[in-house]
Amino acid sequence: MLDHTYQVGDVVRLKKAHPCGGWDWEILRVGMDFRLRCLSCGHQIMLPRKEAEKRIKSLVQAAKISSSEK
């Protein structure tokens, strides 16, 4: 999904399931590296941006933007 700019708080689905059985991950950090947290077990991983964008299958839920950030 190269056409989407990811934000902290987005929930994404990866192409392969985590060994715990979870599919969905929350983005905790965006930059040269992505930090993702599995929503099933809470495990966190760091991936280089290029690899993270390659592994992401779809955006499940966009980050909620507070009224002060609009």
pTM to 2 decimals?
Answer: 0.80
Tens of pLDDT, residues 12-70? 999 999 999 999 999 999 999 999 999 999 999 999 999 999 999 998 887 777 545 55
Q: Between 5 and 3, where is the model more confident?
A: 5
Q: Check residue 5 and give its pLDDT.
A: 84
| Residue 20 contacts residue 39 (beta carbons within 8 Å) | no
Alpha-carbon distance of 17 to 28, in angstroms, equals 19
